[in-house]
């Protein structure tokens, strides 16, 4: 047997919990000398102070996840010490006030102070404060927190899934956040149960103190023949001291529990929250100083204390106001004055190229994009570009970020080749609660609209974030609002982002994988401009170009027949039919589609034979009716929860897609030739049934 390996496994951390349990049982069962009892009482007080300070410096409740177990262990430790001290008080109490150790004697003298009735009343008041005020309040907060945490779990899970789908976080981060959501609910539930131990401990403390006093009187007068007054004096001192030395750590632990469960989630500990929030508004300090100062001049008031404290408050207000003014001045940008000698002749350096993708932010949003301040939006934009490349099939241009003082402080603008394609507002420190249509209540805040999808939303404070999630809102921070909007827009404009530079980079990447295939495509088979136009046509209709092997092989095969980009696009779509249908309806389920009425289909085919442009070849009334009925059918499909798909003959697909795209950008026009043999369809609506 390898004893060294066994000893390595039995490290100190692994032995801590069993050692504490054995120690608690020994204190309850075995007699303990008074000196050892002093050591354990001192350890109990020190442990309670450590727990309180840890709770005060905890930023999130989950940072002290072991707190419910700590409550149980410290409660059992106090009770075991009460049992051990009761044994020694009743057996050795007749020898004097120090029979149960110096700690109990010192605490008893400190509280009683020569008056046993007053000492007893003060001890009862301390116990009532612990039992009725602190412990009961902490237990109620933990109970409500557990309920809200459980109610908010579905909304938080939806928010995590939304961030994952938008590419803002990875699978590992999503798994970690889901674990934290579950742990938070378990933590508040455990705190709710653990608080019952502390309340029971307070009750047991009163009972043990009464037992020690009455039992001590009986033992002292009957077994040791002490005078009633001496027995009352000795055993009251011991009982009160024993109760106090247990109740003070209990009160400290209860305060720690209340501090942990009552704080609102933030990136600051309790000390920083108190200082920053109480002294942030200097006008409050000035007004308070004035009121206290006026009260100091009222006759028979303690003038010195009131006026002194008013001066302290006024000085503190002046100090914080001056400090805040210096900080604001430091935040202002330094603009160097321009003199005529600084002006130079215009050069070609003054002609700056227009960035393909741009993000301009107001000055209050600079913290989101500043590297020196760990701007969270920078990493999210990297995630968006990575997700776009994985799903669409090419790497989009980098996003050029700059501040724009012409924008409102909380506004941002997204540009494509220097032209604005989206704008919105975001409030740092607040959260956008988006109404997905199934919320169960209203929230206080500033109403707005989700810039990406146009859903109704509200900007709310951080303190009601959990409440919003419990009501069914999808809650996202300011950085996520901008990132989601940017992700939505670059997906919509994917075709415009695919320029010559991206095409060449894509072909170079393909050349590394399959050199012969890339060489045969361009310039041997097709010009680069034709390949570019075909790929753009696919992206315009929402077809990813990830499967470049299939696309290139099909283009090489068709290059001898035609170089018309529209014809090549239609044939490539047939080759990509399986992935197109898979994108519209994942799995092997039936694909719900809309189809053309037979009469309308024949009419369109006849028009196609004479004119290749339906917009010009159709009668105005027929064209308007087609657009209107397609719009109504699309709305019905979306209400049913289906992706709007119009299934048409192959000859009509390209022309109808271009004709309807202007009014129905979300409608997908699918050719019958693009359907795989193993996929079945279900017709849910007809377009063009004129009656």
Please say whether the beta carbons of 374 and 331 come within 8 A: no
Give the integer Cα–Cα distance in Å for 282 and 10.
Answer: 56
Q: Are residues 383 and 430 in the same domain?
A: yes
CB atoms within 10 A of CB 393: 20
- Domain count of the chain? 5
How far apart CA 69 and CA 190 sit, in angstroms, is 9
Answer yes or no: is 151 within a domain.
no
For residues 377 and 464, membership in a common domain is answered with yes
Q: Is the pLDDT of residue 10 over 60?
A: no
Tell whether the torsion through CA atoms of 212, 218, 224 and 225 is positive or negative.
positive
Q: Which two tokens stand for residue 560?
A: 């001898």
Question: Above 60 in pLDDT, residue 12?
Answer: no
Peptide bond into 523 cis (omega under 30): yes
Instruction: List beta partners, residue 401.
Output: 359
Same domain, 429 and 460: yes
Q: Please answer whether residues 192 and 142 qualify as being in contact, where contact means their C-beta atoms are separated by less than 8 angstroms.
A: yes
Query: Do 554 and 646 share a domain, yes or no?
Result: no
Cα 650 to Cα 675: distance, rounded to the nearest angstrom: 11
Give me the mean pLDDT over the 126-133 stretch.
72
Domain membership of residue 564 (yes or no) is: yes
Examine residue 475 and state whether it is found in any structural domain, yes or no: yes
Q: Identify the sign of the CA torsion 335, 338, 342, 344.
A: positive
Residue finishing a domain among 516, 545, 575:
575
Residue, of 621 and 646, whose pLDDT is higher: 646
What's residue 275's pLDDT? 64
The tens digit of pLDDT for each residue in 17-34 reads 777 777 777 777 777 777
Task: Please check whether residues 263 and 305 belong to one and the same domain.
Answer: no
Shared-domain flag, residues 130 and 243: yes
Would the pLDDT of 90 be above 90? no
Residue 378 scores a pLDDT above 80: yes
Q: Are residues 483 and 521 in the same domain?
A: no
Task: Pick the last residue of a domain from 531, 547, 575.
Answer: 575
Q: What is the pLDDT of residue 611?
A: 65
User: Does 341 map to a domain?
Assistant: no
Q: What angle do CA 214, 220, 225 make, to 5 degrees?
A: 140
pLDDT in tens, 250-281: 777 777 777 776 665 555 566 666 666 666 67
Higher-pLDDT residue of 46 and 593 is 593
Q: Give Cβ neighbours of residue 356 (< 8 Å, ≥ 6 apart).
A: 397, 416, 417, 497, 499
Which tokens in the block code for residue 657?
């897609």
Q: What is the CATH number of the domain that holds 535?
A: 1.10.8.540
* Same-domain status, 619 and 519: no
Sequence-separated (6 or more) residues with CB below 8 Å from residue 509: none
What is the CATH number for 489?
Answer: 3.40.30.60
Angle 220-44-236 from CA coordinates, rounded to 5°: 20
Are the beta carbons of 477 and 433 closer than 8 angstroms?
A: no
Closest CA to 168 of 345, 377, 463, 403: 377
SS3 406: coil
Token pair belonging to 676: 């795989």
Separate counts of helices (H) and strands (E) for the chain: 27, 12
- Of 151, 196, 223, give the one whose Cα is nearest residue 466: 151
In a domain, 274, yes or no: no
Residues 39 and 124 in one domain: yes
Query: Considering the domain boundaries, does residue 162 fall inside one?
Result: no
Distance CA 610, CA 641 (A): 38
**DSSP β-bridge partners for residue 357:** 399, 416
Distance CA 221, CA 227 (A): 6
Q: DSSP assignment, residue 133?
A: I
| 92, 350, 624, 626 from 619: Cα distances, Å | 112, 53, 9, 11
Residues 15 and 60 in one domain: yes
CB 593 within 8 A of CB 568: no
First and final C-alpha spacing in the chain: 91
Residue 683's SS3 state is strand
**Tokens coding 185:** 């609910």
Average pLDDT over residues 484-500: 91
**CA 401/CA 376 separation, integer angstroms:** 13
CATH code assigned at 611: 3.40.50.12790
Give the mean pLDDT of 355-377.
86
What's the pLDDT at 572? 93
pLDDT at 426 over 90: yes
Which parts of 166-281 fold into alpha helices (H)? 171-218, 228-262, 270-278
More confident residue, 627 or 229: 627
* Residue 543 domain-assigned (yes or no): yes
| Residues 25 and 85 placed together within one structural domain of the fold | yes
Query: What pLDDT, on the 0 to 100 scale, is given for residue 660?
Result: 87
Q: Does the structure show a pLDDT above 90 at 342?
A: no
Please say which residue of 439, 466, 493 terminates a domain: 493
Cα gap 262→148, rounded to integer Å: 13
Whole-number pLDDT of residue 265: 53
In DSSP notation, 316-361 reads HHHHHHHHHHHHHHHHSPP-PPP-GGG-----GGG-PPPPSEEEEE
Secondary-structure percent of the chain, ordered helix, strand, coil, rounded to 5: 65, 10, 25
Question: What HEC string does 452-483 produce?
Answer: CCCCEEEEECHHHHHHHHHCCCEEEEHHHHHH
Residue with tokens 């003054």: 350
Quick one: what percent of the chain has pLDDT higher than 90?
16
CA atoms of 490 and 72, how far apart (whole Å): 54
- In whole angstroms, give the CA distance from residue 263 to residue 151: 19
DSSP 207-230: HHHHHHHHHHHHIIIIIS---HHH
Question: Tens digit of pLDDT for each residue in 147-164?
Answer: 666 666 776 777 777 777
The residue range of the domain holding 41 is 3-141+194-267
Q: Give the residue-averaged pLDDT of 328-334.
A: 58
Are 653 and 539 part of one and the same domain? no
- For residue 470, give both structure tokens: 């419990």
C-alpha separations of 451 from 189, 204, 459, 492, 532 in Å: 37, 59, 13, 14, 31
Residue 332, domain member (yes or no): no
Other C-beta atoms lying within 10 Å of the C-beta of residue 532: 19
């Amino acid at each position: 047997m390898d004893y060294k390996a066994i000893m390595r496994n039995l490290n100190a951390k692994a032995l801590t919990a069993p050692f504490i349990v054995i120690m608690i049982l020994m204190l309850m069962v075995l007699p303990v000398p008074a000196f050892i009892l002093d050591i354990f009482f001192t350890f109990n007080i020190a442990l309670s102070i450590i727990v309180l300070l840890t709770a005060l410096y905890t930023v999130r409740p989950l940072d002290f996840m072991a707190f419910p177990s700590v409550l149980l262990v410290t409660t059992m430790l106090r009770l075991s010490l009460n049992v051990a001290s009761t044994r020694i008080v009743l057996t050795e109490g007749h020898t004097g006030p120090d029979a149960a150790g110096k700690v109990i004697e010192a605490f008893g003298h400190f509280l009683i102070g020569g008056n046993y009735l007053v000492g007893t009343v003060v001890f009862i008041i301390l116990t009532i404060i612990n039992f009725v005020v602190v412990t009961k309040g902490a237990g109620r907060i933990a109970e409500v927190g557990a309920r809200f945490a459980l109610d908010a779990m579905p909304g938080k899970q939806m928010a995590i899934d939304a961030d994952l789908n938008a590419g803002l976080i990875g699978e590992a981060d999503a798994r970690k956040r889901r674990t934290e959501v579950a742990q938070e609910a378990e933590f508040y539930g455990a705190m709710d149960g653990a608080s019952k131990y502390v309340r029971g401990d307070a009750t047991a403390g009163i009972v043990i103190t009464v037992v020690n006093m009455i039992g001590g009187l009986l033992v002292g007068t009957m077994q040791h023949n002490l005078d009633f007054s001496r027995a009352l004096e000795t055993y009251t001192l011991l009982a009160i001291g024993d109760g106090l030395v247990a109740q003070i750590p209990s009160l400290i632990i209860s305060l720690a529990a209340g501090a942990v469960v009552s704080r609102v989630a933030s990136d600051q500990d309790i000390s920083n929250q108190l200082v920053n929030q109480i002294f942030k508004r200097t006008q409050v300090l000035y007004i308070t100083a004035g009121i206290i100062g006026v009260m100091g001049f009222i006759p028979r008031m303690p003038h010195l204390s009131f006026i002194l404290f008013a001066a302290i408050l006024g000085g503190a207000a002046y100090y914080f106001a001056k400090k805040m003014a210096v900080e604001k001045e430091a935040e202002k940008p330094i603009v160097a004055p321009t003199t005529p000698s600084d002006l130079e002749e215009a050069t070609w350096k003054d002609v700056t190229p227009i960035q393909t993708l741009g993000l301009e932010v107001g000055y209050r949003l600079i913290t989101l994009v500043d590297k020196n301040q760990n701007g969270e939006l920078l990493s999210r934009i990297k995630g968006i570009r990575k997700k776009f490349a994985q799903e669409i099939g090419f790497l989009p241009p980098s996003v050029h970020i700059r501040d724009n003082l012409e924008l409102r402080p909380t506004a941002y603008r997204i540009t494509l080749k220097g032209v604005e394609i989206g704008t919105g507002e975001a409030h740092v420190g607040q959260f956008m609660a988006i109404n997905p249509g199934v919320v169960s209540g209203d929230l206080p805040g500033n109403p707005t609209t989700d810039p990406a999808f146009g859903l109704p939303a509200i900007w709310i404070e951080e303190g009601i974030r959990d409440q919003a999630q419990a009501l069914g809102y999808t809650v996202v921070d300011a950085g996520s609002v901008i990132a989601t909007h940017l992700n939505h827009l670059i997906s919509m404009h994917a075709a415009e982002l695919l320029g010559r530079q991206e095409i060449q980079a894509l072909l170079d990447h393909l050349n590394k994988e399959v050199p012969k295939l890339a060489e045969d495509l361009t310039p041997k088979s097709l010009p680069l401009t034709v390949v570019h136009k075909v790929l753009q046509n696919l992206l315009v209709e929402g077809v990813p170009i990830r499967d470049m092997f299939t696309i290139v092989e099909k283009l090489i095969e068709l290059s001898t027949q035609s170089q018309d980009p529209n014809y090549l696009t239609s044939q490539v779509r047939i080759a990509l039919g399986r992935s197109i249908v898979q994108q519209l309806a994942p799995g092997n389920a039936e694909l719900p589609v809309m189809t053309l009425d037979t009469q309308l289909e024949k009419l369109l085919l006849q028009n196609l034979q004479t004119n290749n442009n339906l917009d010009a070849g159709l009668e105005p009334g027929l064209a308007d009716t087609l657009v209107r009925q397609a719009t109504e059918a699309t709305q019905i499909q979306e209400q049913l929860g289906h992706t709007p798909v119009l299934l048409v003959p192959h000859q009509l697909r390209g022309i109808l897609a271009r004709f309807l795209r202007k009014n129905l950008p979300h409608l997908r026009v699918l050719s019958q030739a693009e359907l795989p043999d193993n996929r079945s369809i279900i017709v849910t609506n007809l377009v063009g049934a004129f009656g």
